[in-house]
Amino acid sequence: MTGSPGPSGALRPPAAPRLPGAKVLARAEAIDRFGPSRSFRLVFTNGCFDLLHRGHVEYLDHARRMGDALLVAVNTDASVRRMGKGDGRPFVTERDRTAVVAALESVDGVTLFDEDTPEALVAELRPDVLVKGGDYEPGAVAGGAFVKARGGVVATVPLVEGVSSTTLAERIRRSG
């Protein structure tokens, strides 16, 4: 039997899963729920999450373990296009990308951002921990200087070797 021990030490069933739709928040609601007035350690990260894969799942799980709650900011479709990720990107709409990210147990909230970087959102939220993938230098993470100046932590998580949305997209294109 799985679950956690109850008051008597007996195992109880796991809690019901949180509904993904309830975790997708408008920016104002995300700031209200996860912003400066919170009483818990907030971990923040951002990304496109266009083709969700094992690397994303492990990265978000690792990030969540750095605090009490994980808020993920997902690039809007327009901001992904401005990033120059390639023809036809994003493959998956922002609505679908936020829904899929929100379905992950490690994720406590998801919101969209349309700017080229999440710096303004980071300043509004004031996270305790700012996390990016290992392909970023900690000193180059957007919003990192703000977080560090407030006594927070900027961390990077190692990438899963050979796994990326770009690599996956190339494999799909080659397969016809």
User: Global pTM?
Assistant: 0.88
Query: Could you give the CA distance from residue 117 to residue 68 in angstroms, rounded to a whole number?
Result: 24
Residue 107 covered by a domain? yes
Residue with the larger pLDDT of the pair 89 and 122: 122
Integer Cα distance of 138 and 18 in angstroms: 32
Q: Residue 12 domain-assigned? A: no
Q: Please answer whether residues 163 and 55 qualify as being in contact, where contact means their C-beta atoms are separated by less than 8 angstroms.
A: yes
Distance between CA atoms of 62 and 55, rounded to whole angstroms?
11
Task: Assess if residue 125 is contained within a domain.
Answer: yes
Q: How many domains does the chain have?
A: 1
Would you state the pLDDT for residue 3?
57
5 occurs within a structural domain: no
Residue 150 lies in a domain: yes
Higher pLDDT, 10 or 78: 78
Beta strands 69-75 and 11-12: pairing type? unpaired
When mean pLDDT is compared across 18-22, 25-29, 111-115, 126-130, the lowest value belongs to: 18-22
Residue at 10 is within a domain: no
Residue 1 lies in a domain: no
In eight-state DSSP terms, residue 13 is P
Mean per-residue pLDDT, 73-77? 97
Does some domain include residue 3?
Answer: no
Question: Which residues on neighbouring strands pair with residue 100, listed in sequence order?
Answer: none
| 63 within 8 A of 157, measured Cβ to Cβ | yes
Residue 166 structural domain: 18-174
- CATH for 145: 3.40.50.620
In tens, the pLDDT along 138-175 reads 889 999 999 999 999 999 999 888 888 778 888 888 88
The number of beta carbons lying within 10 Å of the beta carbon of residue 3 is: 11
Whose tokens are 């993470």? That residue is 141
Q: What is the pLDDT of residues 77-97, one digit of tens each?
A: 999 999 988 778 899 999 999
